[in-house]
Structure 1
Amino acid sequence: MSVYIHSVGMTKFGNSENNSLKDLMLAACREALDQANGLKIDAVYVGNFMGGSLANQEILGAIVANDLGLGYIPTAKLEGACASGGIAFRQGVLGILSGEYENVLVVGAEKMKHASTAEVTQVINSAMDQTTNEKYAGLTFPGFFGVTANRYFYETGASKAHLAMIALKNRENALNNPLAQFQKPTTIEEILNARIITDPLGLFDCSPITDGAAAVVLSSKPSDIKILASAQASGPTMMQDATDLLSLSAIRLSGRQAYEKAGIGPQDIDVVEIHDCFSMTEMIAIEELGFFPKLEGWLAIEQGKTRVNGEKPVNTSGGLLSRGHPIGATGIAQIYQLVHQLRGNAPNQLEKLPRLALAQNLGGTGAYSVVHILERV
């Protein structure tokens, strides 16, 4: 049995102060359902991380089924920190592969902008192990990837300028994406001189607080987009457990599993959406997924190989850094962009119509990674 994508939907990312978490979910779902040619939905999976904490709202799956009139079908909310959307998508795929369902609606959503930065940060930090000495030492997500960046600089010829190149590329891509959070042009100088969050990461190196939702309808019935592979892996939950600070094992393992399932290699992928929660994360991910040799990602960035017109276009949507990062929605937003790339109508559409696309969604400091490979058929 195979699984196909029939339709996708997505809200604009950014500040949706007049919309609730429920409003955002339903808007994305309605868009996807309107394009699904009347497929009867058998189950709903929701990717969400902080609905209970920030929006005081749980039972999200049941709310979607009820308010959309889908009947008394099975529903569930999946949580895997920033990989919540990708994990929900994977569960939808597995539900169809098992033979239990024919058609599944998957939606990822988050409502974050109404809360203070301190509140959001506190909730985000729950995606780190709270019982360890690292927590009491004050380690944060920017701190983790700041340490990683400094170590990468030490091991290679890379510098803060290479991180700025990633941030600039993703901002330039977002300018052409009407659903992206950041629509204001910037320069390499502005990025390099921006306020430091954690050395060497500045403001533009860190993904923003965002509201938004994205949805997809999966089916066993054939369409023009086939899911070639779905893979998931876990990794160390503490920095002190990492055998290599410059490796995120969950990304490497989930990527390897996905390639094996699809019967292809990284060289076959035409377009990529990567989880760039920080500019440094994109640097590591392009190496872990085998697009470039280990410790040489910075050279690929310098040579423009990950730009829209490069040999391995990465984050043509603008990525988390500039499209925005409503945590539960991110994994589905990656799928949204890749579906449009494969269909030839995406923001920053590749000149040559791509056939194979890869989405990689990360949770925590490498605690989860989900990889999906899509094919235009």
Structure 2
Amino acid sequence: MVVGVGLHPFGRFPDKDLSALAIEAVLPALKDAGVKWKDIAIAYFGHVYYHGMSMGETTLSKLGLTGVPIVNVENACSSGSTAFWQAYWGITTGLYDTALAFGAEKVPRGPVTVTAEDSPERYIGGDHMMAGYALRSKRYMEETGAPATALAQVSVKARQNAAMNPYAHRKDTYTVEEVLNSRMIADPLTLYQCCPTSEGGAAAVLCARENLADYGIDESRAVSIAAAVLTSGDYNGRGADHSAFSPYRTEPAALQAYEMSSLGPEDVDLVQVHDAATIGELQQIESLHLFPFGEAWRGTVEGRTALTGDVPVNTDGGLLAMGHPFGASGIRMIHETVTQLRGEAGPRQVANARVGVAQCSGAGDVTTVHILMRG
């Protein structure tokens, strides 16, 4: 069960190093859970960019040296959610009673690259995330008839949600016209349809249900983990293992998660997905079978993905407005889902939320899907 969550605001913090961003998420998570650092049996730290070796150990040493295993996790944009996945299975297999999953990142400004410095991909345009998402957008619009305004509406909704979230990187709101008229990045994606690179930290404390009383944890605020799935790419006709070029790779993980939880898309009350670009949100919620393939854009235009819709998506603003510090994003989704299921999301609270999904993906076709339930 998730018993505590913590979040450092996302944005730019030039006066803070990676450890500071991380520890300022860990401490609130421990406090939220009502446990002390000495109660944690194992910790997993998700991050991507190099800031020195063993950063998980460096960060947590500030809380005291307890001798517990600390595992550093790099799995592209899914680093944080992979850390959470490992924490879940460490407890589920009976090895540990408690675990800490945390992540942080200071993403450099400018276009994101995922290949080695001498890779030909950098010279032929294959290693530009937004170029990949732009190609997906073009194809989606051609195949489904989705207008550019429908993709822009994803950003409009994200900013509206973020305006009610004090942790968000971008809280200013825009109209569809303003989104479409922002600077072109990769046709048809404009600046406001691409997530900002960011800095921030997130943390979650997990505990086995049968051990809650041992640590004095308030069971009424604990959130169950109904499914935890991690997949990677397989062979496909389009030949790409890059998440920006591989739409619908979430579907196999989603199907596994639904089977594991004995739940289905019809049971989902809210969802957080990897929306590095507007097209990402549309195709991810289709991959999760929350909308028929090619129909998510219609649901977005109709307001179905808004906070008051029947399928609220990225209720905290998502990557598009929260920003995307790679190691933290996946656990940030857990933070928002837990907050919603507890009924503690304030003005952006989804009514009667009982089941939430958190989906995160990354380069190499890494995909995680977690399903959380109230109680």
So what's the TM-score if we normalise by structure 1? 0.91
Q: CA deviation at 1:347?
A: 4.6
Which residue pairs with 2:276 in the alignment? Answer: 277
Name the SS of the counterpart of 1:57 in structure 2: coil
AA matched with 1:5: V
Change (3 A) 1:358 1:211: same
Across the aligned residues of Structure 1 and Structure 2, the Cα RMSD in angstroms comes to 2.2
Which residue pairs with 1:9 in the alignment? Answer: 6
AA matched with 1:87: T
AA matched with 1:226: S
CA distance in 1, matches of 2:321, 2:350: 22
CA distance in 2, matches of 1:315, 1:169: 9
1:30-74 per-position Cα deviation (integer Å, ceiling 9, x unaligned) = 111122222500111001011x1xxx3231221233111151110
Change (3 A) 1:143 1:368: same
Which residue pairs with 1:72 in the alignment? Answer: 67
Deviates more, 1:246-255 or 1:211-220: 246-255
CA distance in 2, matches of 1:230, 1:70: 30
Which residue pairs with 2:152 in the alignment? Answer: 164
Name the SS of the counterpart of 1:181 in structure 2: coil
Q: Is the 8 A contact 2:161 2:348 kept in 1?
A: no
Q: CA deviation at 1:159?
A: 1.8
Name the SS of the counterpart of 1:11 in structure 2: strand
Alignment of 1:354-369 (within 5 A): 354-364=353-363, 367-369=365-367
Runs of 4+ in structure 1 deviating by more than 6 angstroms, as ranges, are: 129-132
Q: Is the 8 A contact 1:232 1:368 kept in 2?
A: yes
CA distance in 1, matches of 2:183, 2:60: 44
CA distance in 2, matches of 1:239, 1:170: 33
Q: CA deviation at 1:152?
A: 0.7
Q: 1:110 aligns with which of 105, 125, 132?
A: 105
AA matched with 1:95: G
Name the SS of the counterpart of 2:33 in structure 1: coil
So what's the TM-score if we normalise by structure 2? 0.91
Name the SS of the counterpart of 1:38 in structure 2: coil
Which residue pairs with 1:212 in the alignment? Answer: 200
CA distance in 1, matches of 2:13, 2:120: 37
Question: Is the aligned partner of 1:99 residue 2:94?
Answer: yes
CA distance in 1, matches of 2:350, 2:315: 12
Alignment of 1:283-322 (within 5 A): 283-322=282-321
Q: Is the 8 A contact 1:45 1:75 kept in 2?
A: yes
CA distance in 1, matches of 2:124, 2:234: 18
CA distance in 1, matches of 2:246, 2:347: 30
Change (3 A) 1:30 1:197: same
Q: Is the 8 A contact 1:9 1:30 kept in 2?
A: yes
Q: CA deviation at 1:131?
A: 8.2
Name the SS of the counterpart of 1:46 in structure 2: strand
Q: Is the 8 A contact 1:308 1:348 kept in 2?
A: no
AA matched with 1:294: F
Change (3 A) 1:69 1:37: same
Q: CA deviation at 1:349?
A: 3.6
Name the SS of the counterpart of 1:125 in structure 2: coil
Which residue pairs with 2:337 in the alignment? Answer: 338
Which residue pairs with 2:124 in the alignment? Answer: 137
Q: 2:82 aligns with which of 67, 84, 87?
A: 87
Q: CA deviation at 1:342?
A: 0.5
Q: Is the 8 A contact 2:75 2:362 kept in 1?
A: yes
1:4-45 per-position Cα deviation (integer Å, ceiling 9, x unaligned) = 011000011101121111101111001111222225001110
Change (3 A) 1:239 1:125: farther
Q: Is the 8 A contact 1:235 1:248 kept in 2?
A: no
Question: Is the aligned partner of 1:201 residue 2:199?
Answer: no
Q: CA deviation at 1:134?
A: 4.5
Change (3 A) 1:23 1:351: closer
Q: Is the 8 A contact 2:136 2:247 kept in 1?
A: no
Q: Is the 8 A contact 2:23 2:60 kept in 1?
A: no
Change (3 A) 1:162 1:19: same
CA distance in 1, matches of 2:186, 2:276: 14
CA distance in 1, matches of 2:60, 2:41: 10
Q: 1:184 aligns with which of 172, 185, 190?
A: 172
CA distance in 2, matches of 1:263, 1:166: 30
Name the SS of the counterpart of 2:142 in structure 1: helix
Name the SS of the counterpart of 1:341 in structure 2: helix
AA matched with 1:305: R
Which residue pairs with 1:227 in the alignment? Answer: 225
AA matched with 1:59: S
CA distance in 1, matches of 2:238, 2:97: 44
Question: Is the aligned partner of 1:24 residue 2:21?
Answer: yes
Q: Is the 8 A contact 2:316 2:348 kept in 1?
A: no
Instruction: Number of aligned residue pairs: give it.
Output: 361
Which residue pairs with 1:353 in the alignment? Answer: 352
Which residue pairs with 1:264 in the alignment? Answer: 263
AA matched with 2:227: A
CA distance in 2, matches of 1:6, 1:29: 13
